Amino acid sequence: MSGISNEELVRKAVITTEALAAQGKLNPAQSDKFIDYVIQETVLKDNARIVKFRNEDLHIDKIGVGTRVAVPKAEAADPNLRRGVNTSQVTLTPQEIMVPFEVGDVFKDINIEGENVEEHIIQMMARQLANDLEQLYVNGDTVGEAALQGDLIEGGSTSQYVNDSYLAMFDGWSRLADGGNLVDLEGQNIGLSVFSKMLRGLPTKFRRDKKNLRFYTSPDLAQIYVEKLATRATLVGDQAVGGAMATPFGVNLVEVPLMPFLPRIVEDITFTGSGSTVALRYGPVQNMVVTVDDLAGLPQTAFIDPTDYTFAGAAGTITHAGGGSAIGANDTVKVTYDANPQILLTHMMNFIVGIGRDIRIEKDRDIYKGVNQYAITAKVAVEFEEDTAIVKGYNIGTSV
């Protein structure tokens, strides 16, 4: 492979042991190709604005006109009014991520692929990185959800919880959308009425360019909608059976693979006394886990329902259990739960993904352990260009 340049290898999404520079830092052309590959592996390639940067912070200038600019004109008279534009900036602060892994000598020797297995593993890691990034972009929440240690670490506890520090790196689009236009669908099942209410929740000035608007949803929720369309004895029903793209009211419906059917929500809540009740951000709720609010990497046992607290799933509330609770009467706790399905509606270029060009793919050797060590390192961030141009529809029914 000595005749193939690093740039060609990255462009073809083939990362080999020979492609790694001594210091591990990809040159600008290689970085661009690697970024393109990571994006191509996700649904974001046609549904987000990708910005490559080198600085620690990325500043994107915005310019717009927010109010009426026309004024009455009298003959031969200056209206004595001047209109201008509004300028502002969107700031992305990137966070550094790493994919660390090892390939042992013995494993290489006994594997059917032999020496080639190492390069195959590197390619697999790069593809999985694309999935992990999409999950962070969509589901990140700086509060940090409580997760079973065994779900995050092989051999970890299957009964105790740790903070998911990866998803806590920054707020993803779902969490950021809480600062936009919220539409409570009140348990209504997916259908045209749901999409109509969301469109009406979007300011009129953002509705004009429907071809670039997108409904972003989980694959399961999209499948329920398509199934409903398929039951119609119409041309639309026949097209839905054949897998035709769903476009409610002329807006494309985009399935986001890493967007869960039941979104996992996390929030810190504070009780206001023994037996007090707190309303959660979204209801109804299910599969609730309550832990200490400063949950970190050390596995801890969750609080117990109904000994320490009770929750009303349909109402979306949590209640302090009273005198026998291990939770203090005025304590703050971390509450992680599943909510009803949600959909995001916005202009496709309103999603901004920032990826740093200073990407490293490094290799080292541990002669005592007999392993080759690898690390893929990058910096990423996400934002909306315009918060008012996003609608979050929540509390959608789960029935077909």
Domain membership of residue 219 (yes or no) is no
Using only C-alpha atoms, the chain has a radius of gyration, in whole angstroms, of 25
Element (H, E) at 90: strand 86-92
Please tell me the total number of residues recorded for the chain in this structure: 400
From 339, 372, 394, the end of a domain falls on 339
330 and 367 part of one domain: no
51 and 355 in contact (C-beta within 8 Å)? yes
Please count the structural domains in the chain: 2
Domain membership of residue 283 (yes or no) is yes
pTM > 0.95: no
pLDDT value, residue 245: 56
Domain membership of residue 206 (yes or no) is no
Domain membership of residue 380 (yes or no) is yes
Rounded Cα gap, residues 178 and 199, in angstroms: 16
Domain membership of residue 280 (yes or no) is yes
* Span 326-344, pLDDT tens digits: 999 999 999 999 999 999 9
Mean per-residue pLDDT of the chain: 82
Give the relative orientation of helices 28-40 and 116-139 as an angle to the nearest 10 degrees. Answer: 70
Domain membership of residue 188 (yes or no) is no
Structural domain boundaries enclosing 271: 264-339
47 and 120 part of one domain: yes
238 and 278 in contact (C-beta within 8 Å)? no
* Span 10-52, pLDDT tens digits: 333 344 445 444 445 666 777 777 777 777 777 777 788 888 7
- 18-47 burial by CB neighbour count: b if 16+ within 10 A, else e? ebbeeebebeeebbbbbbbbbbebbbbeeb
